[in-house]
A and B are shown apart, each in its own frame.
Chain A
Amino acid sequence: MSQTPAQFDRLTIAGQEYGSRLLVGTGKYKDLAETTRAIEASGAQIVTVAVRRTNIGQTPGEPNILDVLPPERYTILPNTAGCYDVDTAVRTCRLARELLDGHNLVKLEVLGDDKTLLPDVVATLAAAEILVKDGFDVMVYTNDDPIMAKRLEELGCVAVMPLAAPIGSGLGIRNRLNILTIIENVKVPVLVDAGVGTASDAAVAMELGCAGVLMNTAIAAARNPVLMAGAMRKAIEAGREAYLAGRMAPKRFASASSPLTGLFF
């Protein structure tokens, strides 16, 4: 039997190879059991977590998200969600690195306001520069702006992650042409991060040539998150295989699929 794309077509981020091109978040689930089942069904190998204050003096021994994400199985990707300035984003990454015993891979996001959660690209550039100099492997959340994607690559980010649509909106890819231009403009992996709503959105991202897709709400807010996680895994694989296969050229008029010769009527 021939090899499946997952065996030879690997995603490489910061020198590390992955078979799965679906990256998932761990927020908004009902409980840790549901989180675990959904992540398993997604087949994801890179899983994001957030960094927050520990509850002091409350429920000691409370289960921790890291307890259900064994490091030998998952690459933990701490994010800077909730950071609205350079300083807090950089501090969050340093805390995360300490928390994860020196693990350097981070997802940088510096947000502009809480209504849109759109990235503050000026602050994102400044934070990325500091973090790269400090030895972090930065996967950076940004706008669907090809010029900014190029700048972030030039700064040394290991992956550029343009939004499909605002975080948690589920609106799908609002500007396919910009995503395509970003893919053409940068050499590091381009992953759509945020805005995917359902499986076809993920497939479109992969058909455009994205290296992967990062999502959270599309799975967690589905009526059946575990089922949706499986759907997303298949959509990512189908989209990737369609991209690798090379789609037919669209034509305006029909082209018969059955032979036009040998007709007996």
Chain B
Amino acid sequence: MHIEINGESAEVEKAIPLAALIATLSLADTRIAVEVNGELVPRSRFDQHLLGPGDRVEIIQAVGGG
């Protein structure tokens, strides 16, 4: 199915858990936070949260800033 990750379109398997997507992107164990469709998904729910077609996933991190 088709989803969007940080503004880029991506093909992923149907109903993939968020945790699996993050692992696929080699981002497990990195300091990130995730929103799906504008709503924060806490880390504790990455396993249960299943992605649906057209979901917009935002994966963020801290960067230098003032």
Contact = CB atoms under 8 A, between A and B. Distances in A.
Is B a genuine binding partner of A?
yes
Interface of A: 24-29, 35, 48-54, 56-57, 60, 64-66, 76, 78-79, 81, 91, 94-96, 98-100, 167, 214-217, 220
A50 B62 contact: yes
Contacts, number: 101
Interface hub of B8, B26, B60, B65 (most chain A Cβ within 10 A): B65
Interface stretch (B11-19, B34-42, B48-56): B34-42
7 contacts: A25-B65, A50-B62, A54-B30, A56-B59, A64-B30, A78-B62, A100-B62
A65 B61 CA distance: 9
User: Main SS of the interface on chain A?
Assistant: mixed
Given A54-B27, A98-B40, A49 B33 contact: no
Given A56-B6, A81-B65, A95-B33, 8 more contacts: A25-B65, A51-B61, A52-B61, A52-B63, A79-B66, A98-B33, A98-B40, A217-B66
A52 B60 contact: yes
Contacts of A99: 31-33, 60-62
For the complex of A and B, list the 5 residue pairs with the smallest distance between their C-beta atoms, beginning with the closest.
A25-B66, A50-B65, A216-B66, A26-B64, A98-B33
A78 B6 CA distance: 20
B65 A79 contact: yes
Interface residues of B, number: 26
B66 A48 contact: yes
A53 B64 contact: no
Contacts of A96: 33, 62
Contacts of B61: 51-54, 64, 99
B66 A54 contact: no
B43 interface: yes
A49 B62 contact: yes
A35 B26 CA distance: 26
B62 A56 contact: no
A216 B65 CA distance: 8
Contacts of B63: 27, 49-52, 65
